[in-house]
A = this chain, B = another copy of it.
Amino acid sequence: MFQSIHSYIARSVQLSPAEIAIVNENLEYRLVPKKTILLAANNVCNFEAYVVKGCIREYFIDPDGVELTLEFAVEDWWVSDITSFEHQTNSKMYIETLEDCELLMLSRESKERLLQEVPKLERMFRLMIQRHLSVVQNRLFKSVSYSAMDKYLEFVKRYPSIPQRVPQHYIASYLGITPEFLSKLRTRQFKKVL
């Protein structure tokens, strides 16, 4: 249950057994069925969740009612709306499980307590947020500079397991193209491989 997060932490900081015990105490293990809305727009995000197993989607609904997928999270990723979580402001996004998930959840109180008792973890959270920033910044680059086919290839490279795991219309929504166009891209790519 805690094995993967311990390896995750060990990649940025070394903790003593006592500190690891504090980590475990502050994380809440939750089994969440697929299609659960963990966060809905206009609510405050009260968690950061580490994905032990499963797949999660972050999306928002634009003023025309169109769903736009912001991010996918799979094993060994964190998911949250950090702005809403830290400032206790209403979120604009939805966070939904796409598969049955095993999550380790941190509430705001448990995160504060954890950082007070194990300040070394500031580093882990900093590096995690930095990686997250890279992903979002890259997405901003891509959304203006890549052709649809480049976007799709980049997507398959970053998330190799996702095309088999999530409905195609979610991937289309992530790429900002229609499902029909995505299907054309996939056929074109398949022909190239043969």
Contacts and interface: CB of A to CB of B under 8 A. Distances in A.
A108 interface: no
24 contacts: A62-B144, A68-B144, A68-B145, A70-B140, A82-B130, A82-B133, A83-B130, A83-B133, A83-B138, A92-B141, A119-B119, A119-B123, A125-B126, A126-B126, A129-B129, A129-B130, A129-B133, A133-B136, A136-B140, A139-B140, A140-B140, A140-B143, A143-B143, A144-B176
Interface string A131-151: 011101111110111000000
Contacts of A8: none
Interface of A: 60, 62-63, 68, 70, 82-83, 86, 92, 115, 119-120, 122-123, 125-126, 129-130, 132-134, 136-141, 143-145, 176
B134 A82 contact: yes
A18 to B, nearest CB: 18
B137 A126 contact: no
A83 B125 contact: no
B126 A83 contact: no
A180 to B, nearest CB: 20
Contacts of A120: 119
B83 A134 contact: yes
A53 B101 CA distance: 48
A92 B86 CA distance: 30
Contact of A137 (B83, B130, B138, B141): B83
A70 B126 CA distance: 22
Contacts of A145: 60, 62-63, 68
